[in-house]
């Protein structure tokens, strides 16, 4: 989650730099390392351990509404992760099309999804 919250913030700062500048090149390295060395392995580990936990719940888990809602949020979180990878690649190739404001808004998406996921998993409202 930390990576999903931090990478869009790096994008905000990156949009403020001139293409080809030393700062822009530094942001490219930071973004690549964050995504490839931390976020991607963490996502894989989360899906593996989460799948094991669902398996431990047994077959009855698939009838629980909260689990369906949580998994739906997880799909959107994985989609956000994939989009961040696409945007990182666009920055790396100096072809970013989005504004600072766009990335400021995107920065809030993982937060909202994380809150919903925790509520569904802990409170189990339905």
For residue 43, give the H/E element and its range: helix 40-57
Phi, psi of 64 (to 5 degrees): -90, 125
Are the CB atoms for 112 and 70 separated by under 8 Å?
no
First to last CA, the chain: 25
Q: What pLDDT is recorded for position 60?
A: 87
Q: Residues near 14 by Cβ (< 8 Å), separated by ≥ 6? A: 24, 27, 28, 31, 91, 96
Separation CA 76–CA 93 (nearest Å): 26
Total number of domains in the chain = 1
In angstroms, rounded to a whole number, what is the distance separating the alpha carbons of residues 13 and 45? Answer: 29
Query: Do you know the residue count of the chain?
Result: 126
Domain that holds residue 96: 2-122
21-30: pLDDT as tens digits: 999 999 999 9
Q: Determine if residue 94 is left, alpha or beta; phi over 0 gives left, psi from -120 to 50 gives alpha, anything else beta.
A: left
pLDDT tens sequence for the chain (126 residues): 999 999 999 999 999 999 999 999 999 999 999 999 999 999 999 999 999 999 998 988 889 999 999 999 999 999 999 999 999 999 999 999 999 999 999 999 999 999 999 999 999 998
């Amino acid at each position: 989650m930390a990576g999903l919250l931090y990478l869009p913030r790096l994008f905000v700062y990156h949009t403020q730099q001139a293409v080809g500048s030393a700062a822009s090149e530094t942001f490219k390295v930071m973004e690549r390392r964050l995504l490839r060395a931390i976020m991607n392995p963490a996502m894989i580990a989360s899906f593996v351990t989460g799948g094991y936990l669902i398996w431990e719940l047994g077959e009855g888990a698939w009838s629980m509404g909260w689990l369906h809602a949580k998994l739906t949020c997880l799909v959107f979180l994985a989609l956000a992760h994939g989009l961040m990878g696409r945007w990182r690649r666009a920055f790396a190739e100096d072809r970013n099309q989005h504004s600072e404001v766009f990335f400021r808004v995107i920065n809030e998406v993982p937060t909202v999804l994380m809150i919903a996921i925790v509520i569904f998993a802990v409170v189990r409202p339905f």
